[in-house]
Amino acid sequence: MKTLEPITPDLLQQHGLSAQEYERIVAVLHREPNLTELGIFSVMWSEHCSYKSSKIHLRKLPTRGPQVLQGPGENAGVVDLGYGLAAVFKIESHNHPSFIEPYQGAATGVGGIIRDIFTMGARPIALMNSLHFGPLEKPRNRILMEGVVAGIAGYGNCIGIPTVGGEIYFAEVYSQNPIVNVFCLGVAKKDRIFYGRAHGVGNAVIYAGAKTGRDGIHGATMASAEFGEESQQKRPNVQVGDPFLEKLLLEACLEAMKTGAVVGIQDMGAAGLTCSTCEMGSRAGTGIEMDLAKVPQREERMTPYELMLSESQERMLLVADRGRERDVLGIFEKWGLDAVPIGRVTDDGVLRVCRGNRLEAEIPNRALVEEAPLYDRPARRPAYLDALPSGPLPSVPTTDDLQGIFQRLLSSGNLASRRWVFQQYDHMVRTNTLSLPGSDAAVVRIKGTPSALAMTLDGNPRYVYLDPREGTRIAVAESCRNLVCSGARPLAATNCLNFASPENPEVMWQFVQAVEGLAEACALFETPITGGNVSFYNETLGRGIYPTPVVGMIGLLEDERTCTTAGFKKPGDAVVLLGETREELGGSEYLAAIQKCLLGPAPRLDLERERAVQATCLEAIREGLVRSAHDCSEGGLAIALAECSLISGLGASLQLLESVRPDALLFGESQSRIVISTGQPERVLEIAGRQGVPGRILGQVRDSVFEIRDFIRMDVSAMKEIWEDGLAKYFRVS
Amino acid sequence: MTRFGVVVFPGSNCDHDTYHVLKHVLEQQTEFLWHNERDLKDSDVVVLPGGFAYGDYLRTGAIAKFAPIMQAVRRHAAEGGLVLGICNGFQVLQEAGLLPGAMLRNKGLKFVCKFVDIRVESSRTPFTNQCQRGQVLSIPIAHNEGNFYADPRTLGELQDQGQIIFRYCDNPNGAVDDIAGVCNREGNVLGLMPHPERASDAALGSADGLLIFRSLIFAAAVLPA
């Protein structure tokens, strides 16, 4: 093959390839690549597709367990649920596209993660998302958030998969780099899991779904670089989603899988046709030969380069048994979708791309996948950690102020009601949603079995910034705690690691610490990591985000009737605190929102204590003793107790007795605490005693007044007005 | 036993939920009716479920009215057969001319998913005979275009003829006269924006929706075949 265009340093830079990487390409090909091949290498070796900066560290994560049927490396993780069923789940980032084009960026993120799930043979049953924005006082951040939420709603609502939960977090560092992570969970028959593997020499390679256009070319490369001032010019790199088409594709693929003729299947996500073909070949140790002239196209005169790199949405690649192609094609026809054989599986391990008779690219699959560069990038403890003011803490406000502070916290961005957001998501479709959004974890029942699945997304970037290892351990602990509060036993985890540039040694240090914290906590809770995503380069003009690992966790309720929610249920019930309040204010929402300062250290986490608190809560729920359970996290004990009232409309009369300075007592964020309401407090305390967990009765559930003696006394309805308006006030339609 | 048919457009997404309630909760004979077919499979009651029939990138339901199955639904309705349209199904029935009025975008310009209270305005219909007049049902809504509109003359007729069957207690979308559900003049076709199939199991927060399906079972049993 001839190189038609000279490979210049400029061209390499446009492709995000270094001079050394180019030399490596020439070495593995034993020749210069042509432009199409250069494009193929650039996307496959991009950070987004190759994990070249993270891979050696991700190997530290625990990925095995008796429940794990499929760990990292496939389109999604798979976990055994019993009853011959398996849970298939994963999280992905769509940060860069969402910043450029919030509606379509978020929408196509949802579309991509849904495809990752049904490609494994699972019926998607729930979506969640983790969103991080700059403060809503800035109009630009409101536009971003409104667009992202509408995009998620537009896609998920149309395709008919409920968006059941998630988290939203505000901090100034996200103004230029919002975080949009999307999670999907599906259920499959355990013995009918499909993989992205092109097995069987001679089998047909079938392209199905939307036609290929010029949209999204180099999306993966874009997601592998920081933004400058011209980032808005990258809008054409963002794809446009069509949820109706994806609905057809979903139904058609699941139906095609039932024929028994589908050997392997993978969606075309980042790096489109390139990534799906070479990954499927690489996993199976085979090659793929295809003819681009057969690829359905929606634009004229597309070049091989464009066809291979397009990230047009709603496309799938299937490998079907030779001779049974018609069985598969007929089903796509029924759903009104394009489906065309474009090539064959070969035995030589080479990705061979032709157009008609003309050879356009010829690259060994392993050069693109297994032999992609790996970097052990330098890491250095960030200077800011030593420069952080370490106290003394701001003086204690007088008790008169505490009620005022409480009210301001109720309406602060990170603590206010999320109703404005979740009401835009259809969270009830499929009629399985047992806990409405706003509780600790989302719970969906699995029809046909007595069980239900709980799921949650957690992280506290402020803690991680202050202490990457401890902050990430806390994220895992909080995920498990949220599941346990809902009555579930934690099963397995996924993760999305959002960081700034890995080429900055201080960022790399944060990353390594976070991964090690994640590994340590997941090992202790026996929640293996089954997959996930790394998103680097979340920085604009040299300003990066807080290190933002998001932990996604699923848990199992063997009996759906043990599903427990956060709101108080019955006046007269005792309110019990499991765990203890220390004098800790570091990294708290109170310091950030009220004292306007970020002081360390992050709260301390005692993993053994955490485990005992969770064991107490889960045992009490299973014994039928618990009417409500709520994790105590951002905003501290006062906010956790208030939330139990706000969700239910019931009040409480409470007294806190620890000898801790009042603001830490009310708003400190000590870990390993759960608030329970129960009709049988002595039995709950007995379990706590047996587990070695401090437990104490704080007071009682009441009708309509919320009171923490000596500090706070308000009508729940008045509290609710403030809390409900916290986000909604920024989006009012006049 | 009542024979229910649940219409499936390619973008229907509440078809399985509706089927589940009719078939597994109420144990009625229930069939899916594919949009490209013309056979109602002897259904006594045809249900058009929620969703996005053909994507609804155009006006909601604007394409669905041309579906082959809709010819059969029109004939069934003309012969006095029972037809229930839920959410998108309601929008399709309006586009097909089987129900009056049109849907505007919600007043708040956002999709709204939440439980709402609706009041039963008449119990003398095939859809509400198991309810009391004035009874309040808790049933979720989930729509972007549920803001019912009819011109003043049509609205006056609906009021005079007693065709307004459900009203919102606290209007969530700007619908004129708080209308949540209307029937045709003959009373055998009803559309409502709330989703009764989502309120058919106490574990999900309400079982009030069952009253509507049970009313249909009762009505189908007493209707002349």
Calculate how close chain A gets to B190, using CA atoms only, in Å: 21
User: Is A127 touching B (CB cutoff 8 A)?
Assistant: no
Spatial neighbors of B89 by CB under 8 A, at least 6 apart, are B7, B47, B48, B49, B50, B191
At B143 the pLDDT is: 98
Distance from C-alpha of A6 to C-alpha of A323, rounded to nearest angstrom: 43
| Cβ contact, residue pair A431, B51, below 8 Å | no
At B110 the pLDDT is: 96
Query: Does position A235 have pLDDT exceeding 60, yes or no?
Result: no
Residue A127: both structure tokens together = 């979506």
Q: What is the pLDDT confidence band of residue B9, given thresholds at 50, 70 and 90? A: very high
Across A174-183, A383-392, A567-576, A710-719, least confident range: A383-392
Mean pLDDT of chain A: 94
B interface mutation test: which of A155, A426, A446 has the most B CBs within 10 A? A426
- The partner residue sitting opposite B113, judged by closest CB among A427, A431, A733, is A427
pLDDT in tens, A621-648: 999 999 999 999 999 999 999 999 999 9
Contact by Cβ (8 Å): A482, A458:
yes
pLDDT in tens, A539-591: 998 899 999 999 999 999 999 999 999 999 999 999 999 999 999 999 999 99
At A322 the pLDDT is: 95
| Cβ contact, residue pair B10, A560, below 8 Å | no
Task: Find the catalytic residue in A15, A30, A57, A94.
Answer: A94
At A222 the pLDDT is: 62
At A215 the pLDDT is: 83
Partners of B213 on chain A (C-beta within 8 Å) are none
| Cβ contact, residue pair B20, A335, below 8 Å | no
Q: Nearest chain A Cα to B202, which residue?
A: A434
pLDDT in tens, A681-714: 999 999 999 999 999 999 999 999 999 999 999 9
Residue A154: both structure tokens together = 């537009």
B interface mutation test: which of A431, A563, A727 has the most B CBs within 10 A? A431
pLDDT in tens, A360-372: 999 999 999 989 9
Mean pLDDT of A259-281: 93
User: Is B109 touching A (CB cutoff 8 A)?
Assistant: yes
pLDDT in tens, A117-167: 999 999 999 999 999 999 999 999 999 999 999 999 999 999 999 999 999
| Cβ contact, residue pair A424, B112, below 8 Å | yes
pLDDT in tens, B20-71: 999 999 999 999 999 999 999 999 999 999 999 999 988 888 999 999 999 9
Bridge-based pairing state of the strands A539-540 and A695-702: unpaired
How many other C-beta atoms are found inside a 10 Å radius of the C-beta of residue A5? 10
User: How many angstroms separate the Cα of A162 from the Cα of each of A565, A576, B122, B183, B187?
Assistant: 18, 33, 33, 29, 33
At A270 the pLDDT is: 81
Which of A511, A524, A522 is closest to A57 using CA atoms? A511
User: Which residue spans within A389-528 are E strands per DSSP?
Assistant: 442-445, 452-458, 489-498
Mean pLDDT of A530-546: 94
pLDDT in tens, A246-267: 999 999 999 999 999 999 999 9
Query: Does position B224 have pLDDT exceeding 70, yes or no?
Result: no
How many other C-beta atoms are found inside a 10 Å radius of the C-beta of residue A45? 27
User: Is A160 touching B (CB cutoff 8 A)?
Assistant: yes
Amino acid identity, position A613: V
- The partner residue sitting opposite A428, judged by closest CB among B54, B56, B142, is B142
At B59 the pLDDT is: 87
Number of domains making up chain B: 1
Distance from C-alpha of B174 to C-alpha of B172, rounded to nearest angstrom: 6
Mean pLDDT of B75-79: 97
With a threshold of 0.90, does the pTM exceed it?
yes
**Residues 645-704 in A contacting B (C-alpha not used; CB under 8 Å):** none
Q: Whole domain around residue B153: which residue ranges?
A: 3-222
CATH of the domain at B217: 3.40.50.880
Q: What is the pLDDT confidence band of residue A73, given thresholds at 50, 70 and 90? A: confident
Query: Does position A243 have pLDDT exceeding 70, yes or no?
Result: yes
At B58 the pLDDT is: 87
At A4 the pLDDT is: 58
At A650 the pLDDT is: 98
Query: Does position B225 have pLDDT exceeding 60, yes or no?
Result: no
Calculate how close chain B gets to A379, using CA atoms only, in Å: 46
User: Is A434 touching B (CB cutoff 8 A)?
Assistant: yes
**Percent of chain A's residues with pLDDT above 90:** 88
User: Is A335 touching B (CB cutoff 8 A)?
Assistant: yes
Distance from C-alpha of A673 to C-alpha of A696, rounded to nearest angstrom: 11
Has A48 been annotated as catalytic? yes
Mean pLDDT of chain B: 96
pLDDT in tens, A101-120: 999 999 999 999 999 999 99
Task: Find the catalytic residue in B14, B35, B87, B183.
Answer: B87
Mean pLDDT of B133-149: 98
pLDDT in tens, B12-26: 999 999 999 999 999
User: Is B110 touching A (CB cutoff 8 A)?
Assistant: yes
At A599 the pLDDT is: 81
User: How many angstroms separate the Cα of B130 from the Cα of each of B77, B195, B196?
Assistant: 22, 17, 14
User: Is B23 touching A (CB cutoff 8 A)?
Assistant: no
Distance from C-alpha of A675 to C-alpha of A661, rounded to nearest angstrom: 20
| Cβ contact, residue pair B111, A335, below 8 Å | no
